[in-house]
Amino acid sequence: MSRNFRWMSVCCLSAFLLAAATGCGSGDPRNRQALSGKVTLGGQPLDQGIIEFSPEDSGGMASGATIASGQYTIERDKGLPPGKYRVRIYSAGDVVKLPDGPPGPPAPGQGVVGEERIPPEYNMKSTQVVEVVSGGPNAFDFDVPAKPK
């Protein structure tokens, strides 16, 4: 075996082992970040709901999570790349019968709807915007005022 061939073999093997050890290609090309936080409604932890993060820039990605006992968590693998995001929070209240339904009990899953407990400026007309940063603590808390009755 020639000396150059052995040298090239050792170099190639070393490069392969280095790439395998460092996890070549295993990084997240989108640089997703984990998110977490607390949500209160009228000063109390929100018992249940949904939080959504939609990109302010076109072409971005969205994510969301369920809210339970006033807390939400989005793991890094489902997280968001750095950037600005519009936040929407939803939480249905008690179930009520729709007025135009047929007489008698509604069929399962039909004719009933839970009234939205979150004010429009936190969901359909959201004014809430957060900035996700690379490597930073991406903990966003929301103190939602109760809707007037």
Q: Write out the chain's pLDDT in tens, 149 residues.
A: 444 434 343 333 344 433 433 344 447 888 999 999 999 999 999 999 999 999 998 888 999 999 999 999 999 999 999 999 999 999 998 766 556 656 656 566 565 667 899 999 999 999 999 999 999 899 999 999 998 77
What is residue 75's predicted lDDT score, i.e. its pLDDT?
A: 97
Which is nearest to 39 in space by CA: 114, 94, 115, 119? Answer: 119
pTM of the predicted protein model? 0.71
pLDDT score at 148:
76
Q: Where are the chain's structural domains? A: 29-144
Best CA proximity match to 114, nearest among 84, 80, 141, 90: 90
In the CATH scheme, what is the homologous superfamily, with its name and number, of domain 29-144? Carboxypeptidase-like, regulatory domain (2.60.40.1120)
Are 33 and 138 in contact, with CB atoms under 8 Å apart? yes
Radius of gyration of the chain (CA): 25
Residue 113, pLDDT score: 65
The pLDDT of residue 130 is 97
Give pLDDT, residue 58. Answer: 83
